[in-house]
Amino acid sequence: ATQGNMGPAAFWLLLFLLKNPEALAAVRGELEPILSRAEQPISQMTTLPQKVLDSTPVLDSVLSESLRLTAAPFITREVVADLALPMADGREFTLRRGDRLLLFPFLSPQKDPAIYTDPEVFKYNRFLNPDGSEKRDFYKDGKRLKNYSLPWGAGHNQCLGRAYAVSSIKQFVFLVLA
């Protein structure tokens, strides 16, 4: 997470903010009260307390949307039993035990128009409910999705550095915008 993804993720997040004045204003509006309550000037801060970083739903939504549009991880899995995999066009692929598979979530849920309205468009508040809380309910074909965006992978193979990366990206963006 730290060496391969944090730099590009922070770059894309800042670029989306700079290209979207409404998003930038919303994030700054969220950060201003935090700055006004700070015990020391932002120029003297080296890190922000985790409780501050955990109280920024707008910035979280911007980060999630930025990652949804730009993260291109791949997830590998090993086939545990021989399997015939049918395709939508009628073809069939034989997968053998021990074969390695790659899943590219960049092409799957993250840009699926059945999940996201205008999936190619940056919408800073896509991951916010109307009340400002984090939106976690996404549906496809009437079914609630467990994994609606996979920039960090999923399940027991989810990126171990995710929390550190998110915290570091948010710290960086906070300091740049302050």
Distance CA 171, CA 178 (A): 10
What is the tens place of the pLDDT at every residue in 50-79? 888 888 999 999 999 999 998 766 677 899
CB atoms within 10 A of CB 27: 23
**DSSP, res 140:** E
Claim to verify: residue 78 and residue 155 sit in the same structural domain: no
Report the percentage of the chain scoring pLDDT > 90.
Answer: 54
How large is the C-alpha radius of gyration of the chain?
19
Phi and psi angles of residue 177, each rounded to the nearest 5 degrees, phi first: -85, -15
Query: How many structural domains compose the chain?
Result: 2
Claim to verify: residue 94 and residue 45 sit in the same structural domain: no
Of 103, 125, 152, the domain-final residue: 103
State the average pLDDT for the chain: 87
pLDDT for position 158: 81
Q: For 20-45, what is the mean pLDDT? A: 85
pLDDT for position 156: 78
Binding residues for heme: 159
Binding residues: 159
Claim to verify: residue 30 and residue 61 sit in the same structural domain: yes
Claim to verify: residue 135 and residue 161 sit in the same structural domain: yes
More confident residue, 2 or 109: 109
Full domain range(s) for residue 94: 72-103
Report pTM.
0.81
